[in-house]
Copies of this chain bind each other. A is one copy, B any other.
Amino acid sequence: MERIELKHGGGGRASQDILKLFLKYFDDDILKGLEDASILNITGEIAFTTDSFVIKPRFFPGGDIGKLSICGTVNDLSARGAIPKYISVAFIIEEGFELCELEKIIMSMAETAKGAGVRIVTGDTKVVEKGKADGLYINTSGIGIVKIPGISAHNVKPKDKIIITGTIGDHGISVMAKREGLNLDVDVKSDCAPLNKVVEDLVPLSNQIHAMRDPTRGGLSATLNEIARASHVNMKIYESEIPVKDAVVNACEILGLDILTLANEGKLVIFSSPEVADDVINILKSNPQCKDSKIIGEVYDGEGIVLMETVYGTERIVDMPAGEILPRIC
């Protein structure tokens, strides 16, 4: 067999063949039990999240849909102060999809999960007719153990510092460039990466960290606005402090995109009390993944407005992005 056929989704003998391909790489004793649900032993507070991945193209500089599907869920758990432990994987595959590409994606998922220390423990595969999907879509859901309690978009306080763990826009611009056939600087690629180790490093400062979020769809604009509204505060960020690669700035100018709305897949926005902000930066910078970490602004009393002081010294409102932005960026 070289391509996915409808029979692979039927629940019969052909489904078992495709299962073997998954189990070749998703080599986990719990998964191998092939039960309808997997039994896990857990005590305490857990975090639970879900995400579907429909990114186009499926392979892009710095990653692929498989790597992204693991990182996305690992990062949503991490951003709630949880250590990701268990992941489910569910595939919707279009009839005719090439098995060698599926295998590449599975390998990438397995490798990313292993690197992040999460176990793939349950899964599902559906096949739809040719023309009823765009290759394949992946859903991952995840369970983590809460290590930094109280982390919440509703928990940001006036005077908190706003920290970003590195350059912004890399994922959005590299996917967009690949899609449009634009050649970018070689050092611009998706930042797609798991963030759980970054969060683990921050556990000693846990009672001073109030909120974290990975600014994916809608970018920094959406994330800051959502949190400002949820916590009923205003925010001010400084354009000059926001780490961004020159090539990303240039590509945004060519493509007419706002850097602040571009998706990131390996960054965290962290809100900490001002007393520990420098300590947070120091801890972050000890991890090469976060070497460009910066304090980019602070929180004020208010009602949910985000302002940016531009490099020209003027102020503008950073609004919730409107319109299509970049469809299928994750």
Contact = CB atoms under 8 A, between A and B. Distances in A.
Nearest to A123: B50
Contacts of A14: 322-323
Contacts of A263: 11
B88 A11 contact: no
A316 B216 CA distance: 56
Interface stretch (A128-136, A160-168, A290-298): A128-136
B322 A13 contact: yes
Contact of A230 (B34, B75, B132, B152): B34
Nearest to A79: B36
A77 to B, nearest CB: 5
Interface in A240-280: 261, 263
A80 interface: yes
Interface string A144-159: 1010000011100000
Interface in A140-198: 141-144, 146, 152-154
B50 A46 contact: no
B131 A131 contact: yes
Can you tell how many copies of this chain the complex includes? 2
Interface of A is mostly: mixed
A271 B273 CA distance: 57
Nearest to A8: B324
A217 B36 CA distance: 12
A278 B217 CA distance: 55
Contacts of A307: none
A61 to B, nearest CB: 22
Contacts of A325: 7, 10-12
A6 B327 contact: yes
A99 interface: no
Contacts of A76: 36-37
A38 B51 CA distance: 13
Contact of A128 (B7, B75, B328): B328
Contacts of A36: 49, 75-76, 79-80, 213-214
Given A10-B324, A42-B43, 10 more contacts: A10-B217, A10-B325, A11-B325, A12-B325, A34-B226, A35-B153, A36-B214, A37-B49, A37-B79, A128-B137
